[in-house]
Structures are given as structure tokens and as C-alpha cells.
Structure 1
Amino acid sequence: MGNFPLLSILDNDFYKFTMQHAVVRLFPRAKAKYKFINRGEHPFPDGFDQLLKKAVDQMAGLSLLKTEKEYLEKTCPYLAPTYLDFLQGYRYDPSEVEISQTGSNLSVEISGLWYRTIMWEVPIMSLICELYYQATAQERINDKQVISVAQEKINKYKALDIKLAEFGTRRRHSYQVHDLTTKTLVEFGKDVFTGTSNLHLAMKYQTKPIGTHAHEWFMFHGAKFGFKMANLLGLENWSNVYRGDLGIALSDTYTSKVFFSQFDKKFSKLFDGVRHDSGDPLQFADMTIRHYEENGIDPKTKTIIFSDGLNYEKVERIANYCRGKIKISFGIGTSLTNDVGLKPMNIVIKMTDALPEEGDWTPVIKLSDEKNKHTGDPETIELAKQLLDIND
């Protein structure tokens, strides 16, 4: 028990590095807090907190290898050399993570400078999943079957004539399953498979690292600049750092309706497209196409990346609806990296509070496109809904 092969500091989602780069540049003194949320109410066995602590403590030994730095220099020219030098010196600090357990309930809280703590979410979630399946002695299908499942899926997606990336690091069954799946997708996914969100596996299998930013980017901007300015200044700051690179904008931190009201012609032209992560995907497609048309932009020159709980049936429905109207791509997570005959875990780690350089700790929130699925402090949610004129 407790074999968790976190082999590389790059075994993390790509958008954590792109956001960390931007935070180091723009908000080096900001602080953040994150909290584990057990959405699936999974019961953790006795002593699980100690298993996780041991794994987290061992992460302090990870560092950026010379070959990994050279890979980033070549593959990601928009990451500043000063950042890559910083990353070479970066070490996980386990004192930023508080882990405890009461009965079968697990508590994980992360706190510290944002540019440091931003890196914890994804690896801790993948460790929780891997260690949970080990600690509860749940047996998965064998490696040969894992490869067969991945091959069957990529062949079905190939027949749909779509583009897809693998986004499944956070809730993967294990590193081994993730590794085998990605290898199979690269091998059999020619013309369909566009890359992976996992930077380590992108390097290992010479495929494209995929990702831009996550909800926490805009959640922090809400805490620092206010909810009305969060999308606008989040996009402005992103484009100031990346100058047109990494051009997919996440739309649903404060509902997509509010996002599109601030996604003006400048941003609509500058960004390559948007990412859908909650709410009805077909309604979102209509809203996006209409937005581009109203701004005099041909939607067929722009892309929507769909990434909300996708499986084959959902992808097929979206692809058939959007075909010929706008470019589309799909980021598929858990259904690729945790389809091993066991129940996938339903867990998240969310930023809960931010402390910009000035001021006090401020609760951060997310106002999803899913009716009544907003997350964060209830009073702050109500305040934001009033300010942004959101009724649900």
C-alpha cells in the first residue's frame, strides 16, 4: 500500500504551469486557500490521512530535471526563461498542506502564497484517487484490458471525425492506467487525438500539452478587482502575459451570460475560442455562435472546447449539433483515465479564499452555468448574484 509513482514534477495539468507563470509575473505576493470537497461522499478507511501525508511529504523531493527544462524551452516558448529558472528551483512544501481525518471523513486544506500553492490541487487529487483504490483493495481490469478499452474508445471517436484531448489527471485511477491510456491514444489516435493536459505524459509521448487557465484565475480576479471586473481584467491580464498564445478562454466562472457581455470584439478576435465546462452544451454553442456573429466574426474561424463530464454519447450529440457551424474540440477526462470496472471518485479541490497584496482574506466563488450549482461562501454568492444581475 502507498505506492504512488509521482515520477515527475511535470505530472500535473498544463494549465497549472501556465497560470503559475502568470501569477509569478503579476501577483507574486498574493495568497490563496484551497479545500478538498468529497462530492461523492466516499468513505475513507482508517489511517488514510497518514497514507496521504506520507505521499505528500515525499513530493518535496520532486524537482524539474534538465531534460524537462529543455523540453519546456523548446515546446513552450511563451514561458519566460526567468520562469523556467524559477521552476527549476521550485520545491513542494508539505507544510502548506493540512491533512486530517475524522472517522471516514477526510479533510485537506492548502494555504500559502498563490504562486506556490497553485501546484498542489491536481497531484493531491490524483494521489487521493490512487491511494483510495489501493487502501480499499479494489481490483481493476488488467493492463491489457485498459489498453483495449482505450483503443476501442479512440476508434469510436475516430469514426465521429472529431478532435479530442485527454484531460483526466485529477481523477485518474492511477498513474499506470493514465500512462497506458495516453500511450494508446497517441498510438491509435492519428488525426483525432490532439494531446494531453498532463505535461509529463505530453513530454513522454511527444504529444501536445493542452490547456490555458482554470476557474481559479477568474475567482482570484473577483477577489482582487470585484465581480464586475473579474472576467474583463482576467482576460486582459492573460493576454498581457501571453500576447495571443494560449488563446482559449474559460467562460463559466460567473456564468457564461456575464462572460460574453465582457468578451468584447477585441477579446473575441484575440482569443482563439472558448471552453465550455458547465450547463447545457448545445445552448452554450448557440450562445457562442450568436456572440461571434453579433461581433462580425465568422464562428467557423473560432473553436469551442467542450470539457464537462464527457462520454461518447454526449460527444456524439454535441458533434452532430455543431458540425459546420463552429470549430469544436473535446477535452475528455475521467471516462478515459478511470474506466477500469470500478466507480470513479467524485472529488474536487477548490480555491476558497484569496488574499491579494492589499486588503483582507476574501472568499472566492464560482457561479456555474448549472442552475443552483454555485460553489463557495453562500453570502458572497448572493452578493455576486445581485451585483451581476443573475437570477436562478
Structure 2
Amino acid sequence: MQTTPKALIYSILDNDFYKITMQQGVIRLFPAAKAKYKFINRGKHAFPEGFSAALRQAVNEMALLKLSKEEKQFLKVTCPYLDPVYLDFLAGYRFNPDEVHIEQTGEELIVHIEGLWYRTILWEVPLMSLICELFYTMNHAERISNEEVVNRTREKIEKYRELGITVAEFGTRRRHSYQVQRLVLQALTDYGAGSFIGTSNVHLAMLHQTKPIGTHAHEWFMFHAAQYGFKMANAMGLEHWVQVYRGDLGIALSDTYTTDVFFRQFDKMFSKLFDGVRHDSGDPLDFADQVIAHYEHMGIDPKSKTIIFSDGLDYEKVARIARYCRNRVGMSFGIGTNFTNDAGPKAMNIVIKMTEAQPKDGEWTEVVKLSDEPGKHTGTEATIKLAKVILSIPQQTQ
């Protein structure tokens, strides 16, 4: 039996910012809703003996995390749209490890999360971070030196600056380790002036005095489908986001039920009110054309809006997108794994997705994500097929 290493989460804010912003929305609008999440091993990674016990230990240790006075003050000053009631709630929040079910059968890892949505919403990102870090540690995977991590990051951000674009770091979920992400953020802060604009990781944003970046994720719209039905999910999700944030945090995620469906409901009011949209699947150049055409149809100058590109980016992909979009539409880039898991070992291909939701006084309802890439759909085959019928999406062969 291998010894059980530790892979700790060091701060309750070591999480993606959109989890914080969504949590405030859930508390305000859906405090009695419940949710279930499931770990999906897309890369078919084989987990070593004892992995589930090591993960359980790390998850149990997260119960000790709490918001510090300094962290609360950082959020108060940096994020004025987080209201005092929510910040007081977060100061009292503690992770409950009983919400996380972990087991292992041979080399297969099984992880489920279940509980009140406003509580369980914070588990996904740190759990994925722990799974990655433990996987490399327990497999004794060697990584490049700290100096090389910094040098690689420096070279990347300098090349992005030469492209004349802005870049944020989005790599918490599938980072190599906490230490590597710290090194990456230090390098971006030291060498990224004129290009680096912030990070999705709230804890590291505070440490490096940069901007926490994010709005909402697919689960926001997935829950709205459980509450209001597939046809109303995008519109109600956007409506409720506006209700909570009143114009702040104005980048809308477009591909929960395919971009085509999204733009049917992204009417002139939403198009004017939101600052732009985020691209997370499908061909980025086709998406740019679609966004530009949509804004032009609405009588809105596309150059006054922004596309945040965030789907599996590296330098070559970013350069191609930047050349295509320049002087046509505003753009910025969220780069994840290529920053935080370019340290030697192959990056893991894993996700944790909401699988079911239970609105107040409702029943458990299966939820799905219909990405612009069929291979990234999540949900049962039957519910995916039903959603496509309801939303008039062609039944692709997969």
C-alpha cells in the first residue's frame, strides 16, 4: 500500500470566481434548490491503489477552511457587487465532506456530490484540483523545475503581448498542482504588463493583487432548465443574472444548449445589456462570425462588444483567432491548462458536471449540457435526445 500524500487546498477562495458569483445568485434566488454532480473521467485515466483514500483525506481537510478577515476585505473592496449579506454568509461557510461520495473500484474512481445547491456549488473546482495533484503525486510523475515553469510562462505571455491581446489565467480546475499555479501567476504578474489582466482563481488574485475574472458557468443554465424547461432556460438564466448583478459581470456563456439556440433568445435587450459572450466549444472562427452577424442584425457595433475565448487555447490557436477577429469584434482570452499544466506530465482530461437538480418543492430532474461539440455533451442519452427535440436541434450521429 502506498503512503497517502497530502494535496491540500490552502484557502476557501482557492476556487474559480464564477463559483462565488453564482453562489450569491443561488442564495438570493434558489436557496432551497438541491443539486447532484458527477466526476467524468474523459481521459480514461487509471487511478493508482489507495487513491480514493488519499482524496478522502484531502476532502476531509477542507472542512477546516474558512474565510479570513483579509479575504473578506479583499472581496468587499474588489467586488462591490457581492453584497454584505453574502460576504457574511461566506465568512460562516464551511465545506461539509459528507456531501462528497468517493469510492474506487480497481483503477476506476467514482465521485458524486449531493446537497443544497448553494452549498455544493463550491466543490467542483477544488475537487478537480485535488484529483489532478494527487494523481501526479501518487504516480510519482516528475515535472520540470520551478525555474522552467516560470520561463515557459514568461515566454508565453511575452508572445501574447506581441499579439496585442489581453489574457487571463483560467487554469485552476486542471492545474498540475497548487505550487505550479502559484509560479505561473507570479510569472504572469512579473512579466505580463500590457497583456495579463487577471485570473479566475480568487485566492491567487488576492495574493497577486490582480483582478478575479468570471461570471457564470453551464450549471447556471442547466438548473434553469430543471426549473423552467429547456426552452426557457437561457432566457430565464440571463434574466436572473441581470436581476442579481444589474449590469455587472456582463459576459454571457453561450453554449449550454448550443450557440444557435442561445442566439435565438439573446434578444436586443440582452445584446445591449451584456458586454459580450464567452466561447467554450466548437469552431472559434465560426463562432466569431455568428456573434458579429448577430450584433449587426441587432444594429449593434460588434467592436463595442467582447468575445472571451476560453476553449482549449494555446499560442497557435490564439494567434489564429486574433488575426481573424482583429478590427471586427472585441476579444480577450482565458487560458487554462496550457498555463497551469504545462509542467511535464500529460494534462488530465476530467470534468465534474451537474447531473440532476431539484427546484424548491419540485422533483429531481436530469439536466444536460448540449455543447457545440457533440463529444462534450453531458447527461443521459435519453435526456439529451429529449432536449434536442424540444429545442429543434438536429439529432447528430455521435
Q: TM-score category by the smaller chain?
A: over 0.9
Match of 1:319 among 322, 331, 335: 322
Residue 345 of structure 2 corresponds to residue 342 of structure 1: yes
Equivalent residue number for residue 102 of structure 2 = 99
Residue 3 of structure 1, CA deviation: 2.9
How far apart, CA to CA, are the structure 2 residues paired with 1:207 and 1:332?
Answer: 16
How far apart, CA to CA, are the structure 2 residues paired with 1:278 and 1:228?
Answer: 21
Residue 104 of structure 1, CA deviation: 0.3
Residue 374 of structure 1, CA deviation: 1.9
Residue 372 of structure 1, CA deviation: 5.1
How far apart, CA to CA, are the structure 2 residues paired with 1:382 and 1:7?
Answer: 41
Match of 1:14 among 6, 12, 17: 17
How far apart, CA to CA, are the structure 1 residues paired with 2:265 and 2:227?
Answer: 17
Instruction: Give the secondary structure class of the aligned counterpart of 2:82.
Output: coil
How far apart, CA to CA, are the structure 2 residues paired with 1:371 and 1:355?
Answer: 26
Equivalent residue number for residue 203 of structure 1 = 206
Instruction: Give the secondary structure class of the aligned counterpart of 2:109.
Output: strand
How far apart, CA to CA, are the structure 2 residues paired with 1:311 and 1:372?
Answer: 20
Residue 259 of structure 2 corresponds to residue 263 of structure 1: no
Equivalent residue number for residue 156 of structure 2 = 153
How far apart, CA to CA, are the structure 1 residues paired with 2:374 and 2:123?
Answer: 29
1:298-377 equivalences under 5 Å are 298-371=301-374, 373-377=376-380
Equivalent residue number for residue 136 of structure 2 = 133
Number of aligned residue pairs: 392
Residue 254 of structure 2 corresponds to residue 254 of structure 1: no
How far apart, CA to CA, are the structure 2 residues paired with 1:33 and 1:372?
Answer: 22
**Comparing 367-376 and 257-266, the one that deviates more:** 367-376
How far apart, CA to CA, are the structure 2 residues paired with 1:131 and 1:64?
Answer: 24
TM-score of the two chains, using structure 1 as the length reference = 0.99
1:174-323 equivalences under 5 Å are 174-323=177-326
Inter-CA distance 99–211: structure 2 relative to 1 (3 Å threshold)? same
Contact 2:8 2:61 in 1 (8 A): no
How far apart, CA to CA, are the structure 1 residues paired with 2:11 and 2:390?
Answer: 43
Equivalent residue number for residue 45 of structure 2 = 42
How far apart, CA to CA, are the structure 2 residues paired with 1:190 and 1:3?
Answer: 35
Residue 371 of structure 1, CA deviation: 3.6
How far apart, CA to CA, are the structure 2 residues paired with 1:359 and 1:239?
Answer: 24
Match of 1:115 among 112, 115, 118: 118
Equivalent residue number for residue 32 of structure 1 = 35
Identity %: 66
In the alignment, structure 2 segments of 5+ residues that lack a partner are: none
The runs of at least 4 aligned residues of structure 1 exceeding 3 Å deviation read none
CA RMSD of aligned residues (A): 0.7
Write the deviation string for residues 253-279 of structure 1: whole angstroms up to 9, x where unpaired: 000000000000000000000000000
In the alignment, structure 1 segments of 5+ residues that lack a partner are: none
Equivalent residue number for residue 87 of structure 1 = 90
How far apart, CA to CA, are the structure 1 residues paired with 2:283 and 2:73?
Answer: 41
Equivalent residue number for residue 143 of structure 1 = 146
How far apart, CA to CA, are the structure 2 residues paired with 1:287 and 1:205?
Answer: 36
How far apart, CA to CA, are the structure 1 residues paired with 2:338 and 2:164?
Answer: 19
Instruction: Give the secondary structure class of the aligned counterpart of 2:356.
Output: strand
Amino acid at match of 2:101: E
Contact 2:253 2:277 in 1 (8 A): yes
Residue 379 of structure 2 corresponds to residue 379 of structure 1: no
Amino acid at match of 2:52: D
Amino acid at match of 1:197: S
TM-score of the two chains, using structure 2 as the length reference = 0.98
How far apart, CA to CA, are the structure 1 residues paired with 2:100 and 2:376?
Answer: 27
How far apart, CA to CA, are the structure 2 residues paired with 1:174 and 1:318?
Answer: 29
Amino acid at match of 1:58: E
How far apart, CA to CA, are the structure 2 residues paired with 1:183 and 1:313?
Answer: 23
How far apart, CA to CA, are the structure 1 residues paired with 2:25 and 2:375?
Answer: 31
